[in-house]
Structure 1
Amino acid sequence: MKLKIVSVGNSAGVILPKDVLDHLKLEKGDTLYLRETQNGYEVSPYDPDFDEYMEAARIIMRENRDALHRLAGHDD
């Protein structure tokens, strides 16, 4: 898909077609994440690094469930 860079005040922007916004489940005002990959740049509606951090947190919480319960004051 070919997109044109347009002026937005003193900045520049890219206009995304409605079908792209619909596919990504995005609306005006939402945040997009731009990430450099080996094949160029990738745009996504979420931060893939955040997903990695959350998965690591889930693993830690699962592995340390008992200690976390004690720290939270749940001695049952």
Structure 2
Amino acid sequence: MLTLKVTTVGSSAGFILTKEAMARLKIQKGDTVYLTESPDGGYRLTPYDPDFERQMALAEEIMHEDRDILRALAK
């Protein structure tokens, strides 16, 4: 577990990620991270866009269900 301290950044509040935290998240300076709610009521900080993940899951489901149609259209 890593501990982060909330600090003032300009007129807002924020926290500083250590090199270790950035390495664990596999992010670099300038990357976007997302704070998402987890099913247990907690929160999760992730570099993955949850909306994009849902869209890709739906696309994969459609491609699987309609693979014969898509194969015919690709000809």
Tell me the TM-score normalized by structure 1.
0.75
1:18 equivalent in structure 2: 19
Unaligned runs of 5+ in 1: none
Identity between Structure 1 and Structure 2 (%): 49
Could you tell me how far apart the structure 2 residues matched to 1:19 and 1:2 are?
11
Larger Rg: 1
Root-mean-square deviation (CA, aligned residues, Å) is: 1.8
Q: Deviation digits for residues 23-50 of structure 1, max 9, x if unmatched?
A: 2111111010101222411111102342
1:43 aligns with 2:15: no
Unaligned runs of 5+ in 2: none
